[in-house]
Amino acid sequence: MDEAGRGPLAGSVFTAAVILGDDHGIEGLADSKVLTPGRREQLSEAIKQRALAWSIASATVAEIDEHNILKATMLAMRRAVEALPVLPAEALIDGNRVPTGLPCAARAIVRGDALEPAISAASILAKVARDAELVALDASYPGYGFAVHKGYPTPAHLAALAELGPCVAHRRSFAPVRAQVEARQINLW
């Protein structure tokens, strides 16, 4: 399992779980951050076709704001495992934390997205799904540049946030968004 979208100011956090066979035949699996968007898309399709099982789950902006980003990520990871059509013997998780309440054994692997092919595959599926959400948010909330920066706090995103104020896709519990909400004395939620 791996996640995408813990650091952005907007959008859901996505997780994916992937079970690969020893002979999966998917060339080029790597941490999604080192792949081009086009290559991630290609690999995403190959993963969905060749994996023994896969699932994608998320935690919403409201859940992130209610629980915090770490707990929301763990919730999304649990959802991803529970959504698999086959229960794995053990879940390998990128990072240094394991979600509680998983229906199987689990082990955290620091830099697992660069070390374990199944985690690399999960990294790719989560990133492609999250990027698709941000492209859709860009169409619904023009002016923020979500399709370009994917919700990360780039200078362009921070400038748009200051000019336009936050929209419902923004995580109000994140400091730059919270500051804009407080400065404008508004409650979008």
SS (H, E, C) 106-160: EEEECCHHHHCHHHHHHHHHHHHHHHHHHHHHHHHCCCCCHHHHCCCCCHHHHHH
- pLDDT per residue, tens digit, the chain (189 aa), is 999 999 999 999 999 999 999 999 999 999 899 999 999 999 999 999 999 999 999 999 999 999 999 999 999 999 999 999 999 999 999 999 999 999 999 999 999 999 999 999 999 999 999 999 999 999 999 999 999 999 999 999 999 999 999 999 999 999 999 999 888 875 554
Q: What pLDDT was estimated at residue 186?
A: 58
Q: Which two tokens stand for residue 52?
A: 């023994």
Q: Which of 94, 90, 83 is nearest to 117 (CA)?
A: 94
Phi, psi for residue 89 in degrees, rounded to 5 = -70, -35
**CA-based angle 62:65:68, to the nearest 5?**
130
Does 31 belong to an annotated binding site? no
Does 94 belong to an annotated binding site? yes
pTM: 0.94
Does 3 belong to an annotated binding site? yes
Q: What pLDDT was estimated at residue 185?
A: 73
Laid out side by side, the sheet with 2-4 consists of: 2-4, 13-19, 53-59
